[in-house]
Amino acid sequence: MKTHKVLPAGLAGVASGLAAWFIPGWRVCPAERERRRRLKVNSLGRTGSAMIIDFHDGEVCYKYSIGGVEYTAFQDVSSLAEILPADPATLISRPATLKYLAGNPANSILVCEEWSGLIFSPQAPPGAEANAPPESALTEPPPQRGSTSR
């Protein structure tokens, strides 16, 4: 009669699972779940090309094509503001690099904590103009090798 030993063990397993579900410290909040998803796509994902079509309220909207199927996706980047340019609206209508999971191409990212596929020119820090080379250095051709000037 082995079923008498299996039943209590099964009930103990179910009780443990339910207890783990109801203990608040063991559940993962949505922000942490999203962070883990981004890091997984970053570590396992393939790269592709995307076009940013909108940026509004901390969400970037982009479209891309994988295997002849066109996707439109949104990514909440409000928690990654330090990676974004000062004016994220400058990204609209610009190309970007994305990462996606091969088994589920709809699972994609443009940016995460460890990687960014955004293509933009960072703004020069204040006072950088003072350290710029003089205008003449940009317009005069460099001296020829082997030539001497007297």
Question: Is a pLDDT exceeding 60 seen at residue 134?
Answer: no
The label of the residue with tokens 């890091």 reads 39
Grade residue 131 by pLDDT with cuts at 50, 70 and 90: very low
pTM summary value = 0.64
H-type alpha helices, the chain: 3-22, 30-44, 135-139
Average pLDDT of span 9-34: 74
Determine the Cα–Cα distance for residues 140 and 15; give it in Å rounded to an integer: 80
Q: Which CATH number fits domain 30-120: 2.40.50, 1.10.10, 2.40.128, 3.40.50?
A: 2.40.50
Question: Is a pLDDT exceeding 90 seen at residue 27?
Answer: no
The residue extents of the domains of the chain are 30-120
22-35 burial, b at 16+ Cβ within 10 Å, e below that, comes to eeeeeeeeeeeeeb
pLDDT at 23: 67
Tell me the pLDDT tens digit for each residue of 38-69: 999 999 999 999 999 999 999 999 999 999 99
Distance of CA 137 to the CA centre of its chain: 39
